[in-house]
């Protein structure tokens, strides 16, 4: 399986990092070794001093497809979740300045936290989601604010790469990203439902 992530999909987040609002979806990938599930702890790597959380709605692909039309995109994911796109912001800033790829900042082991998967049919878009750090809300998003809807994202990305069963799409983060430290606890919720709850070690 592969992990596809959308960057700058909420205008308020693009702004907080001084990025222009994109005209087309910006996307990148993480390898399967990035996946961190079942509320396992995340071990802070020593190559960064500015590790950021980015809470995102995740789509799980249920059908293989290429050149998927927007009008059919809803048939291609059957489960949703929340996840964290961990980002070494210091490394990313350095790469961005030089126009270099982001993998070192984004694709490391454990960088794609995945919460409990829920049936997409029971969570129709749009919906609100929140991230708590140590019990305090630090990110509050609503999928209605996505610049590119799940249908647009699936249609666009599938022009370039074939989507396969089990692939995950991280749909971008709203404003409020920030640093994590050892002992922090991150909790992701849709409404009152907790999808992930784990510790930084």
User: How many chain residues are in contact with Zn ion, going by CB under 5 A?
Assistant: 3
Cα separation of 189 and 16, whole Å?
23
Omega within 30 of 0 (cis) for the link into 88 = no
Structure tokens at 79: 């489960």
The residues near 54 (Cβ < 8 Å, ≥ 6 apart) are: 84, 85, 86, 87, 173, 177
Among all residues, whose Cβ is closest to Zn ion? 85
Q: Give φ, ψ of 52 to 5 degrees.
A: -110, 145
Cβ distance to Zn ion smaller for residue 85 or 167: 85
Quick note: the x/- pattern for Zn ion over 75-94, rule CB under 5 A, is ----------x---------
- The binder of Zn ion chosen from 81, 111, 139, 173 (CB under 5 A): 173
Is the Cβ of residue 106 or residue 189 nearer to Zn ion in the bound state?
A: 106
Q: Does 167 participate in binding Zn ion (rule CB under 5 A)?
A: no
By beta-carbon proximity to Zn ion, the closer residue of 52 and 189 is 52
Binding residues vs Zn ion (CB under 5 A): 54, 85, 173
């Amino acid at each position: 399986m592969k992990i596809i992530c959308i960057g700058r999909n909420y205008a308020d987040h693009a702004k907080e990092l001084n990025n222009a609002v994109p005209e087309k979806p910006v996307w990148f990938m993480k390898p399967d070794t990035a996946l961190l599930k079942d509320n396992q702890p995340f071990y802070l790597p020593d190559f960064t001093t500015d590790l950021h959380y980015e809470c995102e709605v995740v789509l799980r692909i249920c059908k293989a497809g290429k050149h998927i039309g927007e009008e059919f995109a809803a048939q291609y994911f059957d489960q949703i979740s929340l996840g964290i796109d961990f980002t070494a912001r210091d490394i990313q800033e350095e790469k961005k300045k030089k126009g270099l790829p982001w993998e070192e900042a984004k694709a490391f082991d454990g960088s794609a936290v995945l919460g409990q998967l829920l049936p997409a049919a029971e969570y129709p878009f749009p919906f609100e989601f929140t991230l708590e750090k140590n019990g305090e809300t630090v990110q509050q998003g609503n999928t209605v604010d996505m610049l590119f809807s799940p249908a647009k994202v699936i249609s666009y990305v599938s022009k370039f790469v074939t989507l396969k069963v089990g692939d995950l799409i991280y749909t971008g983060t709203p404003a409020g990203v920030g640093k994590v430290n050892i002992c922090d606890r991150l909790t992701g919720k849709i409404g009152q439902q907790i999808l992930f709850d784990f510790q930084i070690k």
